[in-house]
Amino acid sequence: MKVFEHKFLVTGGTGSFGETMSRYLLDKGAKEVRVLSRDEKKQNDLRLSLRDERLKLYIGDVRDYDSVDHSMVGIDYVFHAAALKQVPSCDFYPMQAIYTNTMGPANVIKASKRHNVLKSIFLSTDKAVYPINAMGMTKALMEKLVISESYSSSDSCSSTIFCCTRYGNVMGSRGSVIPLFLRQALDNHPITITDPLMTRYLMTLDESVNLVMHAFAHGESGDLFVQKSPSCTILDLANAIINITGSHSDIKVIGTRHGEKQNETLVSREEMLKAIDQGKYYKIPPDRRSLNYDSYFEAGDIGLSEIAEYTSDNTLRLSVAEISEMLLGLSFVKEAIKR
């Protein structure tokens, strides 16, 4: 596709998603892929891993508008992945979550408009739906900032398209539970689970890239895209890892951490009213109603009581055998078992 013969910026590009996205874009023939991140060690690792002169590394922080602005000169498309993602850390340091997860995206929006970027896609999380923790709340505000651009786009001189993707746990991403369970199982240490009945969505890194590329291909300003993903209980996930490793580990229940939910939600009940089923994905267009409330004093949406939200409890639930098969399809799992 000729569309890949452009310049791309990936914020947070040294993270699990960012690295996978950068590799994907280079493989597709991107003219240039810029990575904006704070960690020079991870940037050097990425440089050595990819070894591609089209990769350009920018040290900077999305909290700082000047560094975002500098990294965006001449850029055609932006993938905003930089974020604070650890739920307990964000609950202990909520202002830091606000700076990175809300003010950072505001800087990306501002710079995208200034440099007439064609499209900017922002990565969100299931924790932004009915949020109970600082990470989810700040990501929910990020979504509102992005969607609000679709309301004012007709009044703006900018033609940039802004849209979002939202997904649950990405299997094997840094700080996620699967690498921890693998280490515990392979060392025959107890596998520490928070709550046996807690459910979480399962999604691979490749699927996260595919979701973003679906938004890249089909997103209009204000759209939010969700992949229909299967889920599992934490207990079944632990048992699947014991099965594939042949471990003799026991399972130890340690209780939920700060800000954790029993189940996660990818699409709220209110959003399901307007969600468009695209097969593997849901497209959630923005609410185009204006602030003229007079029109809605006597009439509003109908059918809210007849529809359910899309959660990790009511999606397709995987068995231990199905989880095992999915895990064995991941390269980092096979490598860990081989070692």
Question: So what's the pLDDT on residue 311?
Answer: 96
Question: So what's the pLDDT on residue 252?
Answer: 96
Q: Quick one: pLDDT band at residue 174, thresholds 50, 70, 90?
A: confident
Percentage of the chain modeled with pLDDT above 70: 94
Beta carbons of 65 and 105 less than 8 angstroms apart = no
Question: Is residue 274 among the annotated active site residues?
Answer: no
Select which of 119, 127, 139, 283 is catalytic.
127
Domains by residue range for the chain, with CATH: 2-167+204-227 (3.40.50.720)
Question: So what's the pLDDT on residue 259?
Answer: 86
Q: Quick one: pLDDT band at residue 293, thresholds 50, 70, 90?
A: low
Beta carbons of 141 and 97 less than 8 angstroms apart = no
pLDDT of residue 285 exceeding 80, the answer is yes
Main-chain dihedrals φ then ψ at residue 199, nearest 5 degrees: -115, 150
Q: Quick one: pLDDT band at residue 78, thresholds 50, 70, 90?
A: very high
pLDDT of residue 46 exceeding 70, the answer is yes
Residues 6+ apart with CB under 8 A from 90: 84, 96, 97, 101, 133, 134, 135, 138, 259
Average pLDDT over residues 182-209: 95
pLDDT tens sequence across 27-37? 999 999 999 99
Q: pTM here?
A: 0.93
Question: So what's the pLDDT on residue 15?
Answer: 92
- What six digits make up the tokens of 218? 């089909």
Residues counted in the chain: 339
pLDDT of residue 166 exceeding 90, the answer is yes
| Gap between the Cα atoms of 107 and 129, Å rounded | 23
Question: So what's the pLDDT on residue 289?
Answer: 74
Quick count: other Cβ atoms within 10 Å of Cβ 261? 22
Q: Quick one: pLDDT band at residue 287, thresholds 50, 70, 90?
A: confident
Average pLDDT over residues 295-313: 73
pLDDT of residue 155 exceeding 80, the answer is no
Beta carbons of 193 and 253 less than 8 angstroms apart = yes
pLDDT of residue 158 exceeding 80, the answer is no
Mean residue pLDDT across the chain = 93
- What six digits make up the tokens of 116? 């007439």
Beta carbons of 15 and 174 less than 8 angstroms apart = yes
Question: So what's the pLDDT on residue 81?
Answer: 97
| Gap between the Cα atoms of 162 and 146, Å rounded | 6
pLDDT of residue 230 exceeding 80, the answer is yes
| Gap between the Cα atoms of 34 and 29, Å rounded | 14
pLDDT of residue 213 exceeding 80, the answer is yes
Question: So what's the pLDDT on residue 307?
Answer: 86
pLDDT of residue 296 exceeding 60, the answer is no
Question: So what's the pLDDT on residue 157?
Answer: 64
